[in-house]
Amino acid sequence: MNRLAIPKTYKLYIGGKFPRSESGRVYEVLSHKGEFLANAAKGSRKDARDAVVAARSALGGWAGATAYNRGQVLYRIAELLEGRRAQFIDEIMSSEGVNAAVASAQVDEAIDRWVWYAGWADKYVQVAGNANPVSGPFFNLSVPEPTGVVAIIAPQGTESLLGLVSAIAPALVAGNTVVVVANETAPLSAISLGEVLATSDVPGGVVNIVTGSPAEIAPWLASHADVNALDLVGAGDLDWVELQISAADTLKRVLPPETGTDAAAPALSRILAFTELKTVWHTKAIL
Amino acid sequence: MTSSPLATYQPDQRAASLIGGEATDANLRRYLHGIPGIDAVGLEARAADLGTRSIKTSSKRWAIDTIIGLIDLTTLEGADTPGKVRSLVAKALVPDPGDPGCPRVAAVCVYGDMVGTAVTALGSAHAAGGTEGAGVQRVHVAAVATAFPSGRASLAIKLADVRDSVAAGADEIDMVIDRGAFLAGRFGQVYDEIVAVKDACRRADGSVAHLKVILETGELNTYDNVRRASWLAILAGGDFIKTSTGKVAPAATLPVTLSMLEVVRDWHRLTGVRIGVKPAGGIRTSKDAIKYLVTVAETVGEEWLVPHLFRFGASSLLNDVLLQRQKMTTGHYSGPDYVTID
């Protein structure tokens, strides 16, 4: 007997909850062959605004958590990803049209990359920070601190899970909170990652996932005065120069689009891109 | 309706003619319990329905500026300092330093001992005794009195509290009713207290500070009680009825405010006299505030959307309204870095 198919209509992931789009819109997610896979929420500018509010209110707790704790929380996500391997592989196969081996390799790579970044959480400060030599009776210390709320346009090409992980993990490591606009044509990995995050130890609002059209949402994030940084890694097909210009109005840090197989390759520089260096002078004891 | 002889009566004559005798517990109870009860489900449905109106573009712009002009910018903390009151006043006068076109708020609302500080800080912009000319909205000073927020003190202390604030230059007095007496059915005591406080609002020169009567609806338990307390406060001569102190949850809610507006509407039909309404506490977003504007306009009419007939008691509401205003002016979303930290 045939079972009744259950077509899913997914929602957004904002502030640790799964709200529908404020606009009420949805769009069809199709497989690479053009078959219906699911409905995804088509996020609006107001969803992006709500996501920024959630990210801002989560920032204090996440940035204030100890580096060791952040590393543990991020590592836990990798554990959960591992537990959901089958689901991710399935979704990648149907939406990207790759075989099981390729999909499996992508999920492995994404998990490994997540673990790699998680390991940096309590180490990048030692590498990027410094005790500066000064000619006076002072300690002079420079330490990187998180930039704040980072808006990310996720990579839009193939490798939907790996691209997303490569974009959000480095921003999280330093203690930033994230609003990410998912891959428009292959959002299932992002939606499932949202479900992973909701059941992990990540506080609500630290990662906010908006599905929908990057072309529609990105300009609102770029000009939003409460967004501190903008990662345009997946904005190659958008008018990203315009986005950079409007981001400049409120002095955001901006990373340019990247394309090709090594786009958003794991690197310490991606972590440091969304940090601000704080330098402290402190008198030495004169004894 | 304005032809009603009730309009020409003094409050005590008016109350006596309405309740048919002296304002004793028995007479008031007979009158207040004779008021038809409230259909709670219908009231909440009506309030929810009014909250669904979509207010956009130029209407929203008007609504936002109207909201700012109706705010009683409030600080009522044990930790209030003269410095904090001065910065509150500065914000009341220039809510958005980035936009000189931004209207001023209606009033600042402080504890009685801070009235002097607020009056000095307002200077020429103070409503009473200020010198700023026409075209600028001068800012009132409202003081909470009568052993705010609990109201648990003797009448003599409550009246002294009021006189102090009025003498220090308060334009408006926000008094709390004795909820204990009200709930125990001692309506006459509540009535007499309001009358006495109203009398204490009289200044040496014969003018009278505006009296807002706080019902503390969160402690009255039922909509029927809110309606009775509203009638009682109006009968006793209150110029304004105010929902809450902001110290008790739930504070202002839309259904409660709607029921109070209905009393004000009925009172206007009966006597031709316009009474003000002030929801206070718990209104934090412009979206919420716009719902209140819609409710006022639909219940008593748009002519009530003026500072002497409607106020918002709020502290954090102003920042959210300013963020919305900046969004409408600049076309992009603003953030908390662009308004003051209160």
pLDDT at B136 over 80: no
Angle between helices A67-83 and A160-173 (to 10 degrees): 160
Calpha distance A83→B121 (Å, rounded): 63
Looking at residue B342, what is its pLDDT? Answer: 78
Q: In one letter, which amino acid is B132?
A: E
Q: Do A220 and B336 touch (CB under 8 A)?
A: no
**Is B164 in the active site?**
no
Calpha distance B76→B85 (Å, rounded): 10
Interface test with A, best of B285, B316, B333, B334 (most A CBs within 10 A): B333
Task: Tell me which of A199-203, A256-260, B120-124, B134-138 is least confident.
Answer: B134-138
| Residues B163-184 pLDDT 10s | 999 999 999 999 999 999 999 9
Question: Reduced to 3 states, what is the DSSP secondary structure of residue B107?
Answer: strand
Q: Which residue has the tokens 């009603």?
A: B4
pLDDT at B18 over 80: yes
Interface test with A, best of B332, B337, B338, B339 (most A CBs within 10 A): B332
Closest approach of B53 to chain A, Cα-based (Å)? 15
Closest approach of B323 to chain A, Cα-based (Å)? 10
Contacts of residue B46, defined as CB under 8 A and 6 or more positions apart, other chains included, come to B255, B258
**Is B278 in the active site?**
yes
| Residues A190-247 pLDDT 10s | 999 999 999 999 999 999 999 999 999 999 999 999 999 999 999 999 999 999 999 9
Token pair in block for residue B250: 């739930």
**Is B174 in the active site?**
yes
DSSP B299-324: HT-GGG-STTTB-EEESSHHHHHHHH
| Residues A99-131 pLDDT 10s | 999 999 999 999 999 999 999 999 999 999 999
| Residues A9-31 pLDDT 10s | 999 999 999 999 999 999 999 99
Looking at residue B8, what is its pLDDT? Answer: 77
Looking at residue A147, what is its pLDDT? Answer: 98
Calpha distance A25→A11 (Å, rounded): 10
Q: Do B333 and A220 touch (CB under 8 A)?
A: yes
Instruction: Go through the domains of chain A in sequence order and give each one's CATH number.
Output: 26-283 (3.40.605.10)
Calpha distance A274→A270 (Å, rounded): 7
Question: Reduced to 3 states, what is the DSSP secondary structure of residue B208?
Answer: strand
| Residue B54 in contact with partner chain A when CB distance is under 8 A | no
pTM recorded for the entire structure: 0.91
Mean pLDDT of all residues in A138-148? 96
Let me know the angle formed at the C-alpha of A104 by A98 and A266, rounded to the nearest 5 degrees.
100
Calpha distance B153→A241 (Å, rounded): 67
DSSP B179-207: HHHHHTT-HHHHHHHHHHHHHHTB-TTS-
Looking at residue B278, what is its pLDDT? Answer: 97
Helix-strand-coil split of chain B, %, nearest 5 = 50, 10, 40
pLDDT at B134 over 70: no
Closest approach of A226 to chain B, Cα-based (Å)? 4
- pLDDT level of residue B1 (50, 70, 90 thresholds): very low
| Residues B281-338 pLDDT 10s | 999 999 999 999 999 999 999 999 999 999 999 999 999 999 999 999 999 999 999 9
Contact indicator for B325, B99 with CB cutoff of 8 Å = yes
The pairing of strands B276-278 and A275-283 is unpaired
Mean pLDDT of all residues in A42-67? 97
CATH of domain B44-329: 3.20.20.70
Pick the residue from chain B with its C-alpha nearest to A222: B332
Mean pLDDT of all residues in A161-177? 97
Helix (H), strand (E) at residue B147: none
Rg of chain A over CA atoms, in angstroms?
Answer: 20
- pLDDT level of residue A173 (50, 70, 90 thresholds): very high
Q: Do A224 and B336 touch (CB under 8 A)?
A: no
Q: What rounded mean pLDDT belongs to chain A?
A: 95
- How many CA atoms, within 13 angstroms, populate the side-chain half-sphere of residue A108? 6
Domain residue extents for chain B: 44-329
| Residues B60-102 pLDDT 10s | 999 999 999 999 999 999 999 999 999 999 999 999 999 989 9
Among residues B72, B161, B171, B174, which one is catalytic? Answer: B174
pLDDT at B3 over 90: no
pLDDT at A287 over 80: no
Token pair in block for residue B6: 């009730």
Q: Which residue has the tokens 């031709």?
A: B272
Looking at residue B4, what is its pLDDT? Answer: 66
Pick the residue from chain A with its C-alpha nearest to B323: A225
The pairing of strands A130-131 and A138-146 is antiparallel
> Quick one: three-class SS letters along chain A?
CCCCCCCCECCCEECCECCCCCCCCEEEEECCCCCEEEEEECCCHHHHHHHHHHHHHHHHHHHHCCHHHHHHHHHHHHHHHHHCHHHHHHHHHHHHCCCHHHHHHHHHHHHHHHHHHHHHCCCHHHHHCEECCCCCCEEEEEEEEECCEEEEECCCCCCHHHHHHHHHHHHHHCCCEEEEECCCCCCHHHHHHHHHHHCCCCCCCCEEEECCCHHHHHHHHHHCCCCCEEECCCCCCCCHHHHHHHHHCCCCEEECCCCCCCCCCCCHHHHHHCEEEEEEEEECCCC
Among residues B91, B158, B212, B242, which one is catalytic? Answer: B242
Looking at residue B131, what is its pLDDT? Answer: 73
Calpha distance B53→B67 (Å, rounded): 16
Hey, which residues does A150 pair with through a beta bridge?
Answer: A178, A229
